[in-house]
Amino acid sequence: MSEEYRIEHDTMGEVRVPKDALYAAQTQRAVENFPISGRTLSSHHIEICMAALGQIKRAAAIANAELGVIDSETRDAIVKGAEEVIAGKHDDQFPIDIFQTGSGTSSNMNTNEVVATLATGFKGSKVHPNDHVNASQSSNDVFPSSIHIAAYEAVEHALLPKLDQLANSLEKKADEFANIVKAGRTHLMDATPIMLGQEFSGYAAQVRKGIDRVKDAEKNLAELPLGGTAVGTGINTPEGFSERVIALIAENMDLPFRQADNHFEAQAAQDSLVEMSGALRVVAVSFVKIANDLRWASSGPRCGLGEITLPDLQPGSSIMPGKINPVLPEATVQVAAQVIGNDQTIAFAGAQGNFDLLVMLPVMAVDLLESINCLGAVAGLLAERCVDGIVANPERCLELAESSASIVTPLNRYIGYENAAKIAKHAVKEKMTVKESALDLGFVERGEISEEDLDKALNVADMTHPKASK
């Protein structure tokens, strides 16, 4: 059975629109023009608490009524329609592909049409998508503002709490493992000993610094270009609209949005989005380091390092019974790869601001929100389902620490670097401990170092902290 249609029109003529669709002609043209990826704008532009476009339409209607642009009846109808969009009641009415007109005009008009249809039903007379819902606005200031709103909200609620959760989990493990000595590794080769807790403290610090970087970038994300309309001049806006509409959004969402310091910069460039993406990339890079260390340290259980044990989450092989894999660290690295790739896209897109408008906004929106939400999700999972359940294997850690030829390093001050190197090489070649090597090469017998000093120098736990000067 073929789908039923109704006829809508815009300035270009008539268009067939699905009979029950809340959108109209301009949305339908965009659907037909951009059958590219099958991916639509993130729900963070639409759903409750993240309804950036809906929030803008709601606030604009209130501000426009206060400033005499629309009447109170029209305001109430638009507000009611926008709030339904915010509540996620009409998510299926936003069908436009992310690869569309670079200003996001198609998605802005999609929102205008949906809200106008709903408002018309509430009011009982025509509410126009351009003249009423989009009054005092342009896609050129609305859509970049929607990205800032959606991204800021997502950072506040989907990312920062999860990063804090992960940092807390790592800090707890740093305390738990504070006295477990293990082999240090540089270049993936044996190095002087370190405490397992010290390594975990480094991971926690990486995450904490990532939080600080995101918060710094967030400050510029709070700037909204609303009120600049087409090119930043504010043409077709009543005096005071910009300040009022942004204040209404900030109040309704309880977030510190403010008017852009310079509307021409705010529409012609999106450096704040590039900055935030860069901060997310650094977090992603940190995640790769942490996740890979967890994979290496838990490798085995018999033929690898085996210094820690990760929680068993699922069977690891379709052919090897009993095999368990580090699935969450692996998922984490994949998320990081996506975020780093998204950052490349966002950086390139951010360079496409020609004269008075940047025309790569939809892809920037989708990729930035994907990075924020995926990083937040995987951080929470890594903390809860992996880090919190890590168990140290202290005996194995000590065994490897004492097996490292690099523990010869404290002997430098007794017998010199070259002699210490001889002991290290002999230990590796003959598969003996450093102490056994020193004895075998006659350093104690010749009186070059006493056995007491040898034992003192080779205490691996003492090597993990600098000695106080006497």
Residues involved in catalysis: 187, 317
Tokens of 76: 């109430």
Nearest to 265 by CA among 353, 152, 361: 353
Rounded to 5 degrees, what are φ and ψ at 243? -60, -45
> How far apart are alpha carbons 70 and 58 in whole angstroms?
13
- Cβ-defined contacts of 339-344 (< 8 Å, 24+): 339/280, 339/281, 339/283, 339/284, 339/371, 339/374, 339/375, 340/281, 340/284, 340/285, 342/277, 342/280, 342/367, 342/368, 342/370, 342/371, 343/277, 343/278, 343/280, 343/281, 343/284, 343/371
* Torsion angle of the four alpha carbons 175, 179, 185, 190, in this order, in degrees rounded to the nearest 10: -170
Residue in the structure block whose two tokens are 């209607």: 61
The SS3 of residue 97 is strand
Element (H, E) at 212: helix 196-221
User: What's the sign of the alpha-carbon dihedral 418, 422, 428, 433?
Assistant: negative
> Based on the number of CB atoms within 10 Å of its own CB, is 92 exposed (0-12), middle (13-18) or buried (19 or more)?
exposed
Residue 421 vs residues 103, 214, 404, 406, 450: alpha-carbon distances, Å: 65, 45, 13, 9, 18
> Based on the number of CB atoms within 10 Å of its own CB, is 72 exposed (0-12), middle (13-18) or buried (19 or more)?
exposed
> How far apart are alpha carbons 17 and 40 in whole angstroms?
18
Rounded to 5 degrees, what are φ and ψ at 17? -120, 140
> Based on the number of CB atoms within 10 Å of its own CB, is 302 exposed (0-12), middle (13-18) or buried (19 or more)?
exposed
> How far apart are alpha carbons 130 and 386 in whole angstroms?
51
The DSSP 8-state label assigned to residue 273 in this structure reads H
Q: How many CB atoms lie within 10 A of CB 388?
A: 16
Element (H, E) at 9: strand 5-10
